Amino acid sequence: MTNQEISSIKQRFGIIGHAPALNYAIQVAAQVAPTDMTVLITGESGSGKESFSKIIHALSPRKHGQFVAINCGAIPEGTIDSELFGHEKGAYTGAGEARKGYFEVTDGGTIFLDEIAEMPLGTQARLLRVLENGEFIRVGSSKVQKTDVRVVAATNVNLLDRVQAGKFREDLYYRLNTVPITVPPLRERGDDIYLLFRKFAADFSEKNRVRPISLTPDAVRLLTRFRFPGNIRQLKNIAGQISVLEMEREIDATRLATYLPVAQTSQLPALLPGHGGSADAPGGIGSYSERDILYRLLFDMRRDMTDLKKVVLELATGAGPRPAADAQELLRQNSHLFSNLHDAPADHAPDHGNGYYLPPGPPAGSPLRVEVGPASNYADDEDSPPTEDISHETEEETLSLDAIEKEMILKALKKHHNKRKYAAQDLGISERTLYRKLKQYDLEAA
């Protein structure tokens, strides 16, 4: 499909953006539309999944048939079978007359089942029968009826995780996932964010007959760095809020920041849905989305510190291939790792022009030591400067999350005098999870 054809589809359905992932999703939708294949659209809430179902229907031979969009999560479990497949008179209390369901009404058309993961298991079995052979039975009836309906489903969760949890039928998943389409989240669409913001601001301006708002360059940068967990829906709301509340029509980054939730502006990596973060997940303790990352950063810094000490010591004692001047430069570049390394006084040992001094190396055969005190602390050569023994750090450290987890549990128990209830609250997990962890690590608590 050419770029011109993709642009034509965007214009027809009001889709704005040039992100490669968006263009690819549109291309797949256009290519699968002429067929009768079932399509599963995945994407975060508010990313525009319904627009792709409309593309598929409008470009298909069923375009003259009826199109019905149904939110499976919005229909109560007790009535969803009746809504989808219809019911006979007297099928249940309140069923005063027979009623046709959506699969009967849209015969020859397309049904869009949004939030398919919320569909009850019993209804999933009925849906599977429709997909397999086009048959269904009204609630309260024994008569098998036929229908010719194309199904397009959508979800904002990982259906395979639901399958493994026993909340979604595996056979239905593979039947729905004949052709998958992934709609990218707004935060991965780059410059599309600003394009959409301008569109929403212009729409509001035209509708309410006010001058449209604009963003300064620093505000544009702030907007495009925002994570937008609510995706397009959230961006539209923000554009509307600013258009209503701001008297000045040019918005800078400072003013824009007041409309962006602080908790959602972090650029730290986060765990994807379905990849952990549950307090009761195996091997997990609370949410590791940030704690796990901080631990790893601390571990990496500690290893870097140890490696740096070893390199500096080799250079200082002449064991390394580089001259002492290079060691001084290495110290200067990494001085932030030595919390008590100070500027050497002018009348002390030469500092090679960089403001730091390199202590003399130890005698041959002695334990590896690095002096970390300032030169001004030593009255004469007979004083013994403070040293730090790093011989025990020469071996590679093995730091596992299990060890850290065990240490955190022990600290929490000690802090709360072995009271499991309060320790679990401090760790951000349930008591049941704490009991399991105590058993897993063979720990004892009162």
Predicted local distance difference test score (pLDDT) of residue 95: 79
Predicted local distance difference test score (pLDDT) of residue 292: 56
Interior CA angle at 275 toward 271 and 291, to 5°?
40
Predicted local distance difference test score (pLDDT) of residue 286: 41
Domains of the chain, each with CATH number or no CATH: 3-184 (3.40.50.300), 188-264 (1.10.8.60), 291-393 (no CATH), 400-440 (1.10.10.60)
Task: Say how far apart CA 231 and CA 242 lie, in whole Å.
Answer: 17
Q: What is the SS3 assignment for 70?
A: strand
Q: Where are the beta strands (DSSP E) in 157-267?
A: 179-182, 214-215, 250-251
* Sequence-ordered list of residues with C-beta below 8 angstroms from that of 344, at least 6 positions apart, any chain: 351, 355, 356, 357, 374, 375, 376
Predicted local distance difference test score (pLDDT) of residue 278: 42
Predicted local distance difference test score (pLDDT) of residue 370: 44
CA atoms within 13 A on the CB side of 98: 7
Predicted local distance difference test score (pLDDT) of residue 420: 84
In one-letter notation, the amino acid at residue 276 is G
End-to-end CA distance of the chain: 68
Q: Which of 297, 315, 313, 287 is nearest to 391 (CA)?
A: 313
Partners of 137 in the β-ladder: 144
Q: Which of 224, 283, 236, 223 is nearest to 48 (CA)?
A: 236
> Are the C-beta atoms of 259 and 240 separated by less than 8 Å?
no
Predicted local distance difference test score (pLDDT) of residue 93: 78
CA-to-CA dists, residue 80 to 87, 112, 122, 389, angstroms? 11, 15, 10, 71
Partners of 388 in the β-ladder: 370
Token reading at 181 = 């389409």
Predicted local distance difference test score (pLDDT) of residue 153: 97
**pLDDT means per 10 residues in the chain (446 residues)?**
91 93 96 95 93 96 95 91 91 83 94 95 94 93 93 95 94 94 94 95 91 94 93 94 92 93 55 43 42 62 71 63 53 52 44 44 46 44 47 47 79 84 81 81 65
Enclosing H/E stretch for 67: strand 67-71
Task: Say how far apart CA 202 and CA 193 lie, in whole Å.
Answer: 14
